[in-house]
Structure 1
């Protein structure tokens, strides 16, 4: 029996983390979310609670990869979609955990040994990347992930495809997912190549005010004592959030991004000395999504300012002469760029 997740709407505080997760839920092209911070601050709780808010997706019935009936092409999907008359069904958006100890075969997929031994057939057994297609791949303690799995994720994230060559079997299937990682910075840094693949970065801290800490403990205790009852109390609030995400997805294509907003994003990146243009692109996409969530038809300075720390704090170069944190540096640049 599936464990009832802690309701997303019941999370106390951590507004920046909830905003980042909402943005990538509406527009996956923004990129993944990296959540770094103290232990016990609700990082994994928020990610798992997000699953209950995501609108269901239409998929090809019987396809192991959850293919989109129009856009995707895979080994099974191509056969099932013959003549474009494939039967479809509605499925929940997958949120898949990638354990630190997972083997490469478990992640990318491998030959089904049982069928190979019993029938002599080489049949591909899809892995975690196949399950995460069109959904979310969550890695707790992502900074402790083994290097060979990091390299694998980088290749798949860049191409949107998973290519498996095993014992004479060659399989290529779509693997597009939003990468969400969490961790404690005290336990090690993230490789720069993987860090750059995250669109947004969030720093979470332990609450320092008494009322917030008391409310966190009260809600968590109520959840542990009666998970179903607690979820029922917050179901209406979660449903309202889910409707908000659906409305933002519908509104997103029509949100305008004026040149003034693009100039703000570019000016920020110039002031901070970020490498490449990925920073500007992420700020633009995240600001457009924030405007859609707010029900606005056009991106304003308010939206750019709201997402700039999320999109830029992990893209800054190290400055040995400046010991201030990345968030403070972004805020300082914003004070210079914005009137």
Structure 2
């Protein structure tokens, strides 16, 4: 990693933490630090399950418990076990907590205004645009990609969302029963692989690899990215990851097919070095077939 780039990131972090008041134990001039204020804001007016709150903020259970206890002690939050599963705890704001939530919103607006006010209109536009770009890139850096069993809830969500989107976008709809068969067993090692991208503990993308043990040929299947994170380069990252995994298995040639309605996917494949070839299967929903040679990374 470039040491100069690392230095720039660290300097940016120091500037931001000072400017937004993270170093002060009384965030926004309230009687609590940023961590407690952020948890209170994330609980929101509708409440939140504690495990979802912890996953969203990427905090360990011990630290989250301490933050919630502090907020409970101040009379701002109540945590109870509801529903049929007594292990599921839900945090809700008390009337005092709701008032504090509204006050945090008001003061946060004031703090943002204090950052923008000294700047010219052109400088404000530059700052807001730069912040938006930084936020998008930070989101990309927070995405984790890992192999999951096709029965995993996150995997099922992605596969179902994939099929639902094709049904909306294809001219004749999409019926998985008419498509080339791809069973769960095809997505498990040693035959296949299913990679799932997670952001804030939520599934936001997937891609599959289908092959045969020892084969130097494999197919890429089920490429999908959630609309909420499109434009962040996640599709390109998923593609690069599945290519690397395939190369690590000794695969030398990757194939894929796609529908003409998926213009973004077609552009991505071409940019990634895939060449259009003659049809190599009878997939009824395909209009384009692609192929790419990859460098084997494992020792033969």
**TM-score, normalisation: structure 2:** 0.23
Q: Say which structure is richer in helix.
A: 1
Pick the structure with greater CA Rg.
2
**TM-score, normalisation: structure 1:** 0.21
Greater relative contact order structure (CA < 8 Å, 6+ sep): 1
Q: Say which structure is richer in strand.
A: 2
